[in-house]
Amino acid sequence: MAKIISVGKGHSKYNVIIAKNALTKKNLIPSLKNKNKILVVTDSGIPKRYIKDLKDILKGSKKVYIYTIEKGEKSKSFSTYSKILEKLADLKFDRSDAMIAFGGGMIGDITGFCAATYLRGIDFIQIPTTLLAQVDSSVGGKTAINIKQGKNLVGSFYNPIQVLISTKYLESLPDHEYKSGMGEVVKYALIGNKKLNNYMQLNSDAIKKKRLNALEHIIEESIKSKAKIVTSDEKEKGIRAILNFGHTFGHAIEAFERYKGITHGAAVTLGMIIAGKISFYEGHIRSHQLDNMINLIESLGLNTNYSKYKFNDLKKYILNDKKVSEGKLNLILINQSGSAFITNKYNSRNLKKAFD
């Protein structure tokens, strides 16, 4: 049975459908009923059979164009962005047409940004194919591209009209990409979703083996957590910031590594342990809670060792974070009751100590 979760409010409300195979005519066609042309944006790493399935579903009813870009974060660029816009213009797309983002977070972000800005906004659908995109980037309406000064510096908040999550796509996902998404799932468990936390403690083996019912459960719980937060704070003016738990340190690790050799989720996982340690040194959680957190992460086969990263090496990246206001870094920490909060009241020595 497919799970349906509603996200957002008012005109920008949309449904997220989660199933082994959510990409069916029944799920997709009603959302496109008034559309004439569809541009599907995908990348060279997405298995061709998935694209064929999508074409088969759309066959007959619409004019469908597939635009494939090179896989990898490098493609989330201004030059790819303008090429996609030119393609839309050459094909004479108007507001009665739509786009489909068919891939991981890279594809979702750039396609969403094209949809947000072409003709001041045309509709788009997210069909995420990585775990990270399924539990995180496809929901919440953040779209972006990178410029040489930094990642995601150009973008907008723009909701899709629908998100279709098929867990079967995860079968072909490389192990390191699966683990990357798992880092974000752990995040929801740590920032307040106790049901998810308990489930993950008890079912780490099934999760590691990608059992379908386990996947559906953790994706559903992750989306429920994200949906609740982004619906109450669409443009990150407050509570939404807790979704960045572990990200200040994770981003610093990614930047230090020049975005090579470590996935976003793996870096965020280490960042969450650092933030967990600061929470402990600040007296917000007890030592057994810190141990439980690290044990959970280890039981899922994720790396917990960040000894190669020294505070002095990461410092400049940490202080570059968007969460610095008036010279002081706002930290997202966790407390004893298992929820996250944002604070600039902490002893800076504990920040350094977390790296010792």
Ligand X SMILES: NC(=O)c1ccc[n+]([C@@H]2O[C@H](COP(=O)([O-])OP(=O)(O)OC[C@H]3O[C@@H](n4cnc5c(N)ncnc54)[C@H](O)[C@@H]3O)[C@@H](O)[C@H]2O)c1
Shortest spacing between CB 145 and ligand X, in angstroms: 9
Instruction: Specify the stretch interacting with ligand X by CB under 6 A; choose among 97-105, 303-311, 321-329, 344-352.
Output: 97-105
Q: Taking CB under 6 A as the rule, does residue 201 contact ligand X?
A: no
Q: Taking CB under 6 A as the rule, does residue 136 contact ligand X?
A: yes
Burial bucket for residue 283 (CB in 10 Å: 0-12, 13-18, 19+)? exposed
Q: Taking CB under 6 A as the rule, does residue 236 contact ligand X?
A: no
Q: Taking a C-beta distance cutoff of 8 angstroms, is the pair 225, 217 a contact?
A: no
The DSSP line for 26-47 is HHHGGGGTT--EEEEEEETTS-
At 191, phi and psi to the nearest 5? -95, 5
Nearer to ligand X, 105 or 271 (CB): 105
Nearer to ligand X, 98 or 173 (CB): 173
Beta strand extents in the chain (DSSP E only): 3-7, 14-19, 37-43, 63-69, 98-103, 123-128, 142-147, 150-157, 162-166, 324-325, 328-329, 331-334, 340-343
Nearer to ligand X, 58 or 132 (CB): 132
Instruction: Specify the stretch interacting with ligand X by CB under 6 A; choose among 17-25, 167-175, 191-199, 272-280.
Output: 167-175
Nearer to ligand X, 269 or 289 (CB): 269
Q: Helix 247-256 crosses helix 311-318 at what angle (to 10 degrees)?
A: 110
Q: Taking CB under 6 A as the rule, does residue 130 contact ligand X?
A: yes
Q: Taking CB under 6 A as the rule, does residue 215 contact ligand X?
A: no
Nearer to ligand X, 226 or 284 (CB): 226
Q: Taking CB under 6 A as the rule, does residue 45 contact ligand X?
A: yes
Shortest spacing between CB 270 and ligand X, in angstroms: 16
Instruction: Specify the stretch interacting with ligand X by CB under 6 A; choose among 13-21, 98-106, 231-239, 275-283.
Output: 98-106
Q: Taking a C-beta distance cutoff of 8 angstroms, is the pair 38, 98 a contact?
A: yes
Q: Taking a C-beta distance cutoff of 8 angstroms, is the pair 354, 282 a contact?
A: no
Q: Taking a C-beta distance cutoff of 8 angstroms, is the pair 264, 254 a contact?
A: yes
Dihedral of alpha carbons 288, 289, 293, 294, sign:
negative
Instruction: Specify the stretch interacting with ligand X by CB under 6 A; choose among 113-121, 129-137, 193-201, 276-284.
Output: 129-137
The residues that touch ligand X, with contacts defined as CB under 6 A, are: 43, 45-47, 71, 73, 76, 103-107, 109, 129-130, 132-133, 136-137, 140, 142, 151-152, 169, 172-173, 177, 180, 264
